[in-house]
Amino acid sequence: MSAPAAAVASLDELAQKQRRLAPGMRELARGEGSSPAVLPTLDHDECVRVAFASRAASTVRLVARDGAVLAASEPSKEASLDARGPVCFRRGTEPRLEFDGDAGDTRYVVWGAP
């Protein structure tokens, strides 16, 4: 008999982390998937925080259009990008989230400022 699957934080539970992870920031995106998630195109420089959760350890990367890795997590079931603070990039960067691991779908919430 196998052990029950661990519960994964819901999108609403991840969004509730805003007070701690992203005070003063606005929500830009939320979703669930296993393929790259393209973030909204912005016409200004932006700083973001990302919270994610998955069933198994997953690595999440914020990647620019040119393939440059802006931030990457350690393999984890639940964490944030970047643990040290917001990740900032210039307009036109067109960032996307990429997910690696055997986690299946990964849930995420992205906040931004200004």
Contacts of 70 (CB under 8 A, 6+ apart): 61, 62, 63, 64, 87, 89, 93, 95
Q: What is the CATH number assigned to the segment(s) 11-113?
A: 2.60.120
Q: Let me know: does 95 contact 70? Beta carbons within 8 Å.
A: yes
Query: For the residues 83-99, what does the mean pLDDT come to?
Result: 90
Tens of pLDDT, residues 65-77 = 999 999 999 999 9
Report residue 41 CA to chain centroid gap: 16
- Range of weakest confidence among 32-41, 71-80, 100-109: 100-109
What does the pLDDT read at residue 3? 47
**How much is the pLDDT for 6?**
63
Domain boundaries, the chain: 11-113
Percent of the chain with pLDDT over 70: 92
The pLDDT assigned to 102 comes to: 67
pLDDT higher than threshold 80 for residue 58: yes
In this model, does residue 1 exceed pLDDT 80? no
